[in-house]
């Protein structure tokens, strides 16, 4: 992990990103030691602004915003993580397979992928959520988002594999007696990993966005605290009009923090790993 | 003999300092040579000897992490010596393509793939000379015809031409404004042998017509034998031998030069050929003393500790080798044969 | 390793490969390999050089021999079996143990993310019948045959080795199964001129000491002369001349071979070229040429050359595809200025 150590030492952007991420993760971790349960109400006086006792104030329902946030962050991260895992796994499997095998298999899978791409995701999610409203747990939201997020990435993985297949070392592997699956896993996948990491980060952030959007529209599991549902309830109880900024401000701020954290980390990481950008434009002191 | 470029003790390193790791690659480490007017000067050496870096400096494209840490490069185009290293970017740009031009390795990268050859020429000439498009076209057509290229090349895109044709077009592009000095970096590598011959003959012809000077960098000794007037042999960033071509091939004195020449197969000769084991050193950590001593079959004690100086052993022959300088006292040349 | 019953190791019979290129709405067919017939010697290992410029079809021929491309017509018989008809299982079980490739760019032939020995181990386990106990020995044995050792190479990534070392590692990998035939496509053209000889010497050693035949594809006549026993010269899909390397390069009969030989830059400044060469026409034109494909640039072209495809004619032990040597050609078709045997194009 010398990569991380070097980044921490030399890249201020990475340090900021890492710090923000740490804040987010600490918040999520704190949820396990919260004095109140996630769905408890009227445990504190309501509508109090931020103060020493209530760090981020309280909601109209008598919940401590700070502790509510810890649950919200944890749940949103879980939903997004699950969604990305499901979605990208399908994408890598289908994309790699289609790309390497080619022929009829590729054409069938590509046709399937194209169908999924064409489907407008948000309206579909809204429709499904609306129909299933009331029966939606937050796990099923994650699965839903994931199942609709594999199509575009699978095309990208496919095209990566297509070009890798033409590389000479693929031929070397073939003549070393390696079977197709082994070649995809051992030869090609390592090239996909940097790409997949960046791809997953973007998928992760996208999934958070979806979760928030669904919740804000009221189409999620509203009893579970997530960043999205907090905003929903805050709007429901008109905190905007009543100038109770702490209730909707906290989740919005934290979601911005998450996006910025991941952005900084992923860009500095990829800049660091790319040998060209490491050496370019480093002006040198003459006579050294 | 008028000199067009005078390089004195040039040192240029790639210095990188990223994420706490400092690395100095001594690509050009104390090279002194002079290029005479109207000659074709060859620079020979294998990958990693610093020849491409030397060309970059001659062309003035010195961008970080490449830094010139010492020495001088003086050009004399119109009788007025100019210190190239002190020129500004604008002055360098004016100098390039009018006084100095460059034929790179891999012609595909020079020609814009989405423009026809005619347009590339127009853009290029228009940037330097004030003419109308029609005059430009005429000039280009006449020049290409002189060089033996068919007219329809003008209307083609680069990918429609064969590799050899592209290389010739690139050479035409580099020479049409009659620059005084042409720098060619591996102009024949990756070309078929018949095309290679055509390119070599083209370069010779241009030199005859325009009376300009050329520097040809290549690792292919056969090209040097057929094209150049003088050859300089580089090893690990340093000049180890320089002589006129005939002398260099007939009496190579430095063991490395002998190795380069001896390891080439010739048709009609199936006798065993041997290469020296090992490979050129990494330039960020070169060996002490003479950089070739780790591979030299004649290495002596002194070779490990001291760097041999470049000595003039004949009017047109310089060698940097302790064998040669030690043997100068003796009358006979070292007993090193060409064939194994 | 070689056929006891005297059949050639590899027999190529009238092999052709057509590529269809779609250009807009039209489709152009061109013959990358056109009716090529060659055979490796019977009974003893040999090095056959296949020489030609880019676009001559030599790489396509190599790919067909390796089974990476299917021929459009003709047959490729290796050890009595038709290569194009092998099923995937047979290929792994038998063919790949006997025939192995060596590619042009050693740095492309190994994945930059994997240690180089991984391919050697894979070959040993998958095709070489190695066990955990024997694999190190097998790999080391192959590496020693090319002048390296497992100790030197183990744990290294491709960028830690030089081009020469890496190419030798590639050859070692190919040798693990004790193949009968190596197909080397421009194995030294990416290496510095002075390093080439050590690789080419390895081929010679492998032939003499291990009985491996090599098909050595190159555009470099000098190393072809040095390394090979026999040579075939290709032009736009044809084999225009073949025979022993002393015959073909010592006294080339086909005008194209003569130009090739004359164009090799001799490392001897006292022998510079005197004549100029004609420019090659765009590839497509030469492929489409009626009659002899070389007619456009041949200094000895006759009328018949643009009309009829030349036959493969035996001339002093070589086989030459050229009308100039056709004893049945009527006198009035010949060139009045044609000498009995065409002039050499050397200076």
Q: Find the CB nearest A6 among B15, B16, B19.
A: B19
Q: Does C100 touch chain A (CB under 8 A)?
A: yes
Burial class of residue A206 in the structure, from the number of CB atoms within 10 Å of its CB (0-12 exposed, 13-18 middle, 19+ buried)? middle
Q: Does B19 touch chain A (CB under 8 A)?
A: yes
Above 80 in pLDDT, residue C284? no
pLDDT at A26: 92
User: Residues 6 or more apart from B150 whose CB is under 8 A from it?
Assistant: B144, C279
With CA atoms as reference, the chain C residue closest to B48 would be C192
Decide if C279 and B165 are in contact by the 8 Å CB cutoff.
Answer: yes
CB C249 within 8 A of CB C231: yes
Task: Please list every residue in chain A whose beta carbon sits closer than 8 Å to the beta carbon of residue C68.
Answer: 171
Above 50 in pLDDT, residue C276? yes
CA atoms of C47 and C50, how far apart (whole Å): 10
DSSP state of C326: -
Task: Please list every residue in chain A whose beta carbon sits closer than 8 Å to the beta carbon of residue C109.
Answer: 168-169, 171-172
Task: Determine the 3-state secondary structure of C305 from DSSP.
Answer: helix
Task: Please list every residue in chain B whose beta carbon sits closer than 8 Å to the beta carbon of residue C283.
Answer: 162
With CA atoms as reference, the chain B residue closest to C257 would be B194
| Å between A198 CA and nearest CA of chain B | 22
Q: Does B18 touch chain A (CB under 8 A)?
A: yes
Mutation target among B14, B66, B67 for the A interface, most CBs of A within 10 A: B67
Burial class of residue C24 in the structure, from the number of CB atoms within 10 Å of its CB (0-12 exposed, 13-18 middle, 19+ buried)? exposed
Q: Does B165 touch chain C (CB under 8 A)?
A: yes
Using one digit for the tens of pLDDT, what is the confidence trace for A200-217?
Answer: 888 899 899 989 988 888
Above 50 in pLDDT, residue A134? yes
Burial class of residue C187 in the structure, from the number of CB atoms within 10 Å of its CB (0-12 exposed, 13-18 middle, 19+ buried)? buried
DSSP A191-242: HHHHHHHHHHHHHHHHHHHHHHHHHHTT-S-TTS--HHHHHHHHHHTTTTTT
pLDDT at C281: 59
| Å between A186 CA and nearest CA of chain C | 9
Q: What percent of chain C has pLDDT over 90?
A: 32
Decide if B201 and C164 are in contact by the 8 Å CB cutoff.
Answer: no
How many C-beta atoms surround the C-beta of residue B127 within 10 A?
A: 9
CA atoms of B201 and C263, how far apart (whole Å): 11
Chain B neighbours among A 4-43 (CB < 8 Å)?
Answer: 6-7, 9-10
Task: Please list every residue in chain A whose beta carbon sits closer than 8 Å to the beta carbon of residue C126.
Answer: 176-178
Mutation target among A277, A279, A287 for the B interface, most CBs of B within 10 A: A279
Higher-confidence residue of C138 and B275: namely C138
Task: Please list every residue in chain B whose beta carbon sits closer than 8 Å to the beta carbon of residue A279.
Answer: 16, 18, 65
pTM comes to: 0.79
Domains assigned to chain B = 3-228 (3.40.50.300), 257-340 (no CATH)
pLDDT at A173: 93
Task: Please list every residue in chain B whose beta carbon sits closer than 8 Å to the beta carbon of residue C222.
Answer: 264-267
Average pLDDT over residues A105-131: 87
Above 80 in pLDDT, residue C271? no
Element spanning B233, H or E: strand B230-235
Q: In what order do the strands lie in the sheet with C73-78?
A: C26-39, C10-23, C73-78, C81-82
pLDDT at A288: 32
Using one digit for the tens of pLDDT, what is the confidence trace for B14-56?
Answer: 887 766 677 888 888 889 999 999 999 999 988 778 888 898 8
Task: Please list every residue in chain A whose beta carbon sits closer than 8 Å to the beta carbon of residue C174.
Answer: 175
pLDDT at C74: 92
How many C-beta atoms surround the C-beta of residue C139 within 10 A?
A: 25
Token readout for C327 is 């004893």
Q: Give the mean pLDDT of chain C.
A: 84
Task: Please list every residue in chain C whose beta carbon sits closer than 8 Å to the beta carbon of residue B195.
Answer: 53, 280
Q: Find the CB nearest B15 among A10, A280, A284.
A: A284
Q: Does C129 touch chain A (CB under 8 A)?
A: no
Query: Phi and psi for C136 in degrees, rounded to 5?
Result: -60, -40
In Å, how far are A71, A147, C8, C80, C195 from A82, measured between CA atoms? 16, 11, 62, 57, 54
Q: Find the CB nearest C197 among B222, B245, B273.
A: B273
With CA atoms as reference, the chain A residue closest to B21 would be A6
Task: Please list every residue in chain A whose beta carbon sits closer than 8 Å to the beta carbon of residue C123.
Answer: 175-177
With CA atoms as reference, the chain A residue closest to C111 would be A169
With CA atoms as reference, the chain B residue closest to A281 would be B64
Decide if A169 and C108 are in contact by the 8 Å CB cutoff.
Answer: yes
Q: Find the CB nearest A282 among B20, B24, B65.
A: B65
pLDDT at A285: 38
Q: How confident is the model at residue C296 (pLDDT cuts 50, 70, 90)?
A: confident
CA atoms of A68 and A46, how far apart (whole Å): 13
pLDDT at C336: 55
User: Residues 6 or more apart from A120 whose CB is under 8 A from it?
Assistant: none
Average pLDDT over residues C280-286: 59
Q: Does C103 touch chain A (CB under 8 A)?
A: yes
Q: Find the CB nearest A281 among B19, B64, B67.
A: B64
pLDDT, one tens digit for every residue, chain B (340 residues)? 688 889 999 999 888 776 667 788 888 888 999 999 999 999 998 877 888 889 889 888 888 788 888 888 888 888 788 888 888 888 888 888 678 888 887 666 778 888 898 888 888 888 777 788 888 888 888 888 877 788 888 888 888 887 778 888 888 888 888 888 999 988 887 778 888 888 888 888 888 888 899 999 998 888 899 899 999 999 988 999 999 999 999 989 999 998 888 877 777 777 777 777 777 787 878 888 888 888 888 888 888 888 888 888 888 899 998 888 776 555 444 544 443 3
Above 70 in pLDDT, residue C21? yes
Q: Does A162 touch chain C (CB under 8 A)?
A: no
User: Residues 6 or more apart from B238 whose CB is under 8 A from it?
Assistant: B29, B30, B31, B50, B291, B307, B320
Token readout for A100 is 């390497």
CB A79 within 8 A of CB A87: no
CA atoms of A243 and A233, how far apart (whole Å): 15
CA atoms of A86 and A132, how far apart (whole Å): 20
Chain B neighbours among A 101-130 (CB < 8 Å)?
Answer: none
DSSP H helices, A102-149, are 103-118, 121-132, 138-147
Q: Between helices A65-101 and A103-118, what is the axis angle to 10°?
A: 150
Mutation target among C264, C294, C297 for the B interface, most CBs of B within 10 A: C264
Q: Find the CB nearest A177 among C122, C170, C174.
A: C122
Task: Please list every residue in chain B whose beta carbon sits closer than 8 Å to the beta carbon of residue A272.
Answer: 19
Decide if C108 and A176 are in contact by the 8 Å CB cutoff.
Answer: no
Decide if C269 and B272 are in contact by the 8 Å CB cutoff.
Answer: no
**CA neighbor of C236 nearest in space, from C254, C248, C222:** C254
DSSP state of B282: P
Decide if A282 and B20 are in contact by the 8 Å CB cutoff.
Answer: no
Q: Find the CB nearest B265 among C55, C226, C263.
A: C226
User: Residues 6 or more apart from C160 whose CB is under 8 A from it?
Assistant: none
Burial class of residue A166 in the structure, from the number of CB atoms within 10 Å of its CB (0-12 exposed, 13-18 middle, 19+ buried)? exposed
pLDDT at C2: 45
Q: Pick the range with the lowest mean pLDDT from A249-258, A273-282, B62-71, C103-112.
A: A273-282
> Angle at Cα C81 formed by Cα C75 and Cα C86, nearest 5°?
85
Handedness of CA A49, A50, A52, A55 (dihedral sign): positive
Q: Give the mean pLDDT of chain A.
A: 84
Decide if C164 and B279 are in contact by the 8 Å CB cutoff.
Answer: yes
Token readout for A217 is 């529209």
In Å, how far are A46, A186, B233, C68 from C111, measured between CA atoms? 63, 10, 34, 20
Task: Please list every residue in chain A whose beta carbon sits closer than 8 Å to the beta carbon of residue C100.
Answer: 175
Q: Does A103 touch chain C (CB under 8 A)?
A: no
Task: Please list every residue in chain B whose beta carbon sits closer than 8 Å to the beta carbon of residue C160.
Answer: none
| Å between B19 CA and nearest CA of chain A | 6
Using one digit for the tens of pLDDT, what is the confidence trace for C154-202?
Answer: 888 888 888 888 999 999 999 999 999 999 999 988 887 777 888 888 8
CB C160 within 8 A of CB C193: no
Q: Does A187 touch chain C (CB under 8 A)?
A: yes
pLDDT at B159: 81
Higher-confidence residue of A274 and C181: namely C181
Decide if C194 and B259 are in contact by the 8 Å CB cutoff.
Answer: yes
**Is the interface score ipTM higher than 0.90?**
no
Using one digit for the tens of pLDDT, what is the confidence trace for C61-82?
Answer: 999 999 888 899 999 999 888 8
| Å between C109 CA and nearest CA of chain A | 4
């Amino acid at each position: 992990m010398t990569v991380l150590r070097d980044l921490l030492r030399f890249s201020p952007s990475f340090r900021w990103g890492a710090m923000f991420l740490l804040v987010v993760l600490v918040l999520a971790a704190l949820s396990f030691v919260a004095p109140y349960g996630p769905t408890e109400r009227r445990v504190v006086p309501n509508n109090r602004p931020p103060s020493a006792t209530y760090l981020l104030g309280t909601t109209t329902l008598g919940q401590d915003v700070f502790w509510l946030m810890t649950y919200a962050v944890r749940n949103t991260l879980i939903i997004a993580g699950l969604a990305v895992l499901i979605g990208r796994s399908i994408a890598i499997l289908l994309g790699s397979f289609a790309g390497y095998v080619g022929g009829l298999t590729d054409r069938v899978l590509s046709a399937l992928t194209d169908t999924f791409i064409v489907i407008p995701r948000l309206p579909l999610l809204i429709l499904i959520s609306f129909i299933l409203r009331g029966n939606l747990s937050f796990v099923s939201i994650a699965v839903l988002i994931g199942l609709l997020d594999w199509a575009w990435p699978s095309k990208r993985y496919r095209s990566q594999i297509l070009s890798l297949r033409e590389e000479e070392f693929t031929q070397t592997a073939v003549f070393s007696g390696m079977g197709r699956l082994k070649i995809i896993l051992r030869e090609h996948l390592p090239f996909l990993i940097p790409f997949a990491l960046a791809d997953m980060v973007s998928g992760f952030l996208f999934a958070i966005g979806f979760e928030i959007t669904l919740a804000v529209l009221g189409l999620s599991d509203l009893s579970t605290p997530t960043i999205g549902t907090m905003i929903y309830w805050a709007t429901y109880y008109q905190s905007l009009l009543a100038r109770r900024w702490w209730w909707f401000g906290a989740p919005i701020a934290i979601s911005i923090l998450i996006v910025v954290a991941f952005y900084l980390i992923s860009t500095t990481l990829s800049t660091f790993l790319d040998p060209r950008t490491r050496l370019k434009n480093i002006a040198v002191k003459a006579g050294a | 003999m008028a000199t067009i470029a005078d390089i004195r003790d040039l040192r240029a390193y790639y210095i990188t300092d990223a994420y706490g790791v400092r690395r100095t690659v001594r690509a050009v480490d104390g090279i002194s040579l002079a290029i005479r007017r109207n000659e074709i000067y060859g620079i020979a050496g294998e990958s990693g000897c610093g020849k491409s870096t030397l060309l970059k400096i001659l062309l003035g494209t010195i961008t970080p992490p490449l830094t010139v840490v010492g020495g001088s490069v003086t050009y004399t185009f119109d009788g007025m010596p100019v210190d190239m290293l002190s020129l500004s970017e604008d002055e360098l740009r004016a100098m390039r393509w009018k006084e100095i031009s460059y034929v790179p390795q891999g012609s595909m990268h020079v020609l814009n793939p989405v423009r026809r050859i005619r347009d590339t020429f127009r853009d290029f000439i228009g940037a330097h000379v004030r003419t109308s498009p029609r005059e430009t076209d005429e000039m280009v057509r006449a020049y290409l015809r002189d060089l033996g290229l068919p007219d329809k090349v003008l209307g083609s895109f680069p990918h429609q031409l064969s590799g050899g044709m592209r290389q010739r077009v690139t050479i035409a592009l580099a020479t049409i404004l009659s620059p005084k000095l042409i720098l060619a970096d591996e102009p024949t590598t990756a070309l078929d042998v018949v095309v290679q011959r055509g390119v070599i003959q083209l370069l010779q012809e241009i030199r005859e017509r325009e009376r300009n000077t050329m520097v040809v960098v290549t690792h292919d000794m056969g090209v040097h034998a057929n094209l150049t007037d003088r050859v300089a042999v580089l090893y690990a960033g340093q000049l180890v031998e320089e002589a006129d071509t005939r002398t260099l091939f007939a009496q190579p004195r430095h063991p490395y030069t002998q190795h380069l020449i001896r390891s080439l197969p010739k048709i009609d000769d199936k006798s065993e050929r041997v290469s020296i084991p090992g490979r050129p050193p990494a330039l960020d950590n070169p060996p002490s003393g003479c950089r070739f001593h780790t591979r030299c079959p004649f290495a002596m004690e002194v070779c490990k500790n001291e760097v041999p100086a470049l000595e003039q052993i004949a009017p047109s022959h310089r060698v940097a080798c302790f064998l040669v300088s030690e043997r100068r006292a003796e009358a006979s040349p070292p007993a090193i044969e060409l064939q194994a | 390793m070689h056929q006891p019953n005297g059949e050639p190791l590899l027999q190529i019979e009238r092999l052709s490969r057509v590529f269809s290129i779609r250009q807009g709405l039209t489709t152009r067919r061109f013959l990358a390999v056109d009716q090529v017939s060659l055979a490796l010697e019977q009974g003893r290992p040999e090095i056959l050089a296949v020489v030609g410029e880019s676009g001559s079809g030599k790489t396509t021929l190599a790919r067909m021999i390796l089974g990476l491309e299917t021929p459009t017509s003709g047959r490729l018989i290796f050890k009595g079996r038709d290569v194009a008809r092998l099923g995937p299982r047979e290929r792994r079980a038998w063919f790949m143990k006997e025939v192995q490739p060596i590619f042009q760019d050693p740095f492309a032939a190994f994945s930059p993310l994997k240690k180089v020995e991984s391919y050697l181990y894979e070959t040993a386990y998958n095709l070489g019948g190695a066990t955990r106990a024997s694999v190190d020995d097998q790999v080391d044995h192959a590496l020693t045959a090319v002048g390296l050792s497992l100790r030197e190479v183990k744990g290294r990534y491709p960028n830690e080795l030089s081009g020469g070392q890496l190419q030798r590692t590639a050859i070692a990998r190919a040798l693990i199964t004790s193949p009968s035939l190596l197909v080397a496509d421009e194995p030294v053209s990416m290496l510095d001129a002075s390093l080439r000889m050590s690789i080419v010497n390895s081929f010679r050693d492998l032939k003499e000491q291990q009985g491996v035949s090599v098909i050595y594809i190159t555009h470099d006549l000098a190393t072809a002369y040095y390394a090979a026993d026999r040579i075939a010269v290709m032009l736009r899909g044809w084999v225009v001349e073949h025979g022993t390397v002393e015959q073909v390069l010592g006294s080339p009969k086909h005008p194209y071979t003569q130009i090739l030989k004359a164009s090799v830059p001799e490392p001897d400044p006292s022998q510079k070229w005197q004549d100029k060469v004609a420019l090659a026409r765009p590839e497509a034109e030469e492929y489409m040429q009626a009659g002899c494909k070389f007619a456009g640039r041949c200094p000895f072209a006759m009328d018949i050359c643009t009309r009829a495809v030349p036959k493969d004619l035996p001339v002093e032990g070589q086989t030459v595809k050229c009308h100039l040597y056709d004893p049945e050609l009527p006198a009035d078709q010949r060139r009045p200025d044609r000498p009995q045997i065409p002039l050499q194009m050397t200076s």
